């Protein structure tokens, strides 16, 4: 008789996050994650390519929401407005501030994970620039706009996970966009 185990991805993620927090990312093995989750290593590898990927589970959905919203924004909209809509759509997918805090502390402790995170953001920025060009925005405006957008997200997100912060991520994104306009208008 095979026992049905619901939500293996979520359980693997929870187990990994707990173990990375307790022993550090480098000192945790896939076998330990699977064991903690009550699953097999084979099940782990059916869901994740490696132990880094557990921490980037939502990255594709995030990119899809972001870029998809920009692609489908009404045509006359200014690029920065389309990008703002994309940022807010993607941000809406990030549900748990506590999970985000734990995850970020683990990434901050590992150069390998920091590099992976930077490279995920770089891919996001490239997809976004492609989409902006398809919407008729020229270079270098397309690449600049996409770099701005990812910078705005990173800054807002870092504030959002600060212990003292209780405003919504969407509000912090809007504030960062306002700051961006103030900073560039200063010249």
Q: List residues near a second copy by CB under 8 A.
A: 78-81, 84, 111, 114-115, 118-119, 122, 139-141, 143-145, 147-148, 151-152, 154-156, 158-159, 175-177, 179-187
Considering the complex, state which of residue 80 and residue 100 has its C-beta at the smaller distance from a second copy. 80
**Is residue 46 a contact partner of residue 9, using CB atoms and an 8 Å limit?**
no
Total length of the chain: 187
| Distance (Å, whole) CA 27 – CA 63 | 30
99 vs 157, which CB is nearer to a second copy? 157
Closest CA to 79 of 156, 140, 122: 140
Complex with a second copy: residue 33 or 148, whichever CB lies closer: 148
Nearest approach in angstroms of CB 110 to a second copy is: 12
CA 173, distance to chain mean position in Å, is 14
Contact in structure between 93 and 65 (CB atoms under 8 Å): yes
Supply the minimum distance, in Å, between the C-beta of residue 10 and a second copy. 29
């Amino acid at each position: 008789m095979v026992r049905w185990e619901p939500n293996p991805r979520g359980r693997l993620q929870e187990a990994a996050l707990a173990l990375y927090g307790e022993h550090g990312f480098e000192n945790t093995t896939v076998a330990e994650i699977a064991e903690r989750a009550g699953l097999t290593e084979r099940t782990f590898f059916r869901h994740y390519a490696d132990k880094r990927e557990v921490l980037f589970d939502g990255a594709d959905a995030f990119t899809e929401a972001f870029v998809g919203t920009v692609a489908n924004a009404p045509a006359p909209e200014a690029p920065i407005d389309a990008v703002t809509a994309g940022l807010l759509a993607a941000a809406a997918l990030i549900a748990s501030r506590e999970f985000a805090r734990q995850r970020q502390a683990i990434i901050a402790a590992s150069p390998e994970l920091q590099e992976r995170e930077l490279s995920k953001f770089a891919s996001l920025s490239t997809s976004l620039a492609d989409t902006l060009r398809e919407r008729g925005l020229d270079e270098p405006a397309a690449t600049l706009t996409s770099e701005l957008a990812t910078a705005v997200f990173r800054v807002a997100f870092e504030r959002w996970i600060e212990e003292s912060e209780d405003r919504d991520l969407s509000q912090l994104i809007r504030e960062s966009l306002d700051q961006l306009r103030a900073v560039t208008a200063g010249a």
